[in-house]
Structure formats: C-alpha cells, structure tokens
C-alpha cells in the first residue's frame, strides 16, 4: 500500500475553522481546503476524507502565536 503524507493546518475560530493542506516534500502543493464548522464531527469528517483511511492521527498543536 502506498503511504500518503499530508500536513493539515487549522485556523480555529469560535464558529468556523479554516483547513489548509500541504503535500509531503519540498515541492508539495499547499492549498486552502475550505472552511468548516468548529465542531468535532466536521473536523473528523474532513480528516477522514483527506486521509482516505480508517485511522485519524491525533492532532498536534504548535502553540499560541
């Protein structure tokens, strides 16, 4: 099975979250995926769609900037 590496960035606000996706590698494409509601169900749905698999890895937080 081919391994897919994607990096997901989240800009979280009270009502909405903007989702960005970066493909692996230096030449990987970076794009804004879209805006979703800020509830867990919407985030899980997007992550499953992006990952294409059963497992959703836990998110990591870079910290408050």
List, for residues 4-49, the tens digit of each pLDDT value.
688 889 999 999 999 999 988 888 889 999 999 999 899 989 988 8
Residue 45 covered by a domain? yes
Look at residue 62 and tell me whether its pLDDT is greater than 80. Answer: no
Residue 41 covered by a domain? yes
Residue 14 covered by a domain? yes
pTM: 0.71
Number of domains in the chain: 1
Residue 59 covered by a domain? no
Task: Report the alpha-carbon distance of residue 44 to residue 24 in Å, rounded.
Answer: 21
Residue 65 covered by a domain? no
Residue 61 covered by a domain? no
Can you give the residue range of the structural domain that contains 22? 6-51
Residue 62 covered by a domain? no
């Amino acid at each position: 099975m081919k391994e897919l590496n994607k990096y997901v960035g989240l800009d979280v606000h009270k009502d909405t979250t903007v989702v960005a996706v970066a493909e692996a590698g230096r030449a990987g494409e970076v794009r804004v995926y879209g805006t979703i509601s800020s509830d867990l169900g919407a985030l899980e749905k997007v992550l499953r769609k992006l990952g294409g698999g059963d497992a959703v890895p836990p998110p990591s937080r870079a910290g408050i900037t």
